[in-house]
Structure 1
Amino acid sequence: MFEPGHLHRANQFVSADQPIFNIDLYYEVRQDPVEGAMLHMRMVGEVAGKAFEEAFELHRDTAFNFASVATRLAQKHGLPTSHSMIMRGHDEYDLMFEHIRSILGAHSGDPVDFDHLEKDGL
């Protein structure tokens, strides 16, 4: 389920290659006095009955990579990468991506500062 600022993903059926999970991804833009607009994301949920919470920030020009970071964090907590929580509902992911671009004022072809890639751990 997607609504601006929030993506919820869950499955209730365990299989041989996928545990039960329930994950919420919340996001907002925050203004950093030095770095400018930053996409702040917070993941809260459970994978295979184990609760977790993670937060991360991405620069405006690297925010388009949020799915990679979220997938890596979900994997860290036990969700196999072959069952990405983002790609399961690609239509909702597209809405989320467009909303993030909108709130950041980002456009296709905007330059990327390669130092931001390193700072954001990408």
Structure 2
Amino acid sequence: MFEPGHLHRAFSGVPGTPTGHVDVFYEVHHDAAEGTLMHFKVTGNLDGKDFTEEFDMHRDTAFNFASLIAKAVVKQGLPSAVSPIMRNHKEYDAMFEDIRKKLDAKSGEAVNLTNLEKDGL
């Protein structure tokens, strides 16, 4: 389920997949040194284990959000083939557009390669 600023995924214990849920919350933050950032908070419970992962992405690299969210949940035991983002492409597209709107980003804007490294991409 997607709504602006929040994505929720439930997992029902399909063989090889833990039972539980993952929630992704995101919002714009402004940092004096780094500029505009998108702050992500990934929370959930997989097989009875609660977790929270938080990270920031620079304005120009925030569109690679699926990669860092996938890394966060794989660390918590979700198989890499069960990405909470790419599971429903319609919701991925909506999340992408919501992030673009929140950051007032335009297609074709340059990416600072240093920011890719800083953001762990």
Contact between 1:43 and 1:55, CA under 8 Å: does it hold in 2? yes
Deviations 1:35-84 (A, max 9, x none): 11100000110112111001000000000011100001100000001111
Q: What is the root-mean-square deviation of aligned Cα atoms in Å?
A: 0.9
Match of 1:70, as an amino acid? I
Unpaired segments ≥5 residues, structure 2: none
Contact between 1:21 and 1:79, CA under 8 Å: does it hold in 2? no
Corresponding pairs, count: 121
Secondary structure of 1:88's partner? coil
Corresponding residue for residue 56 of structure 1: 55
TM-score scaled to structure 2, two decimals?
A: 0.96
Q: Percent identity?
A: 52
Deviations 1:5-62 (A, max 9, x none): 10001122x1322111201100000111111110000011011211100100000000
Secondary structure of 1:58's partner? strand
Unpaired segments ≥5 residues, structure 1: none
Q: Return the alpha-carbon distance in structure 2 between the equivalents of residues 77 and 64 of structure 1.
A: 22
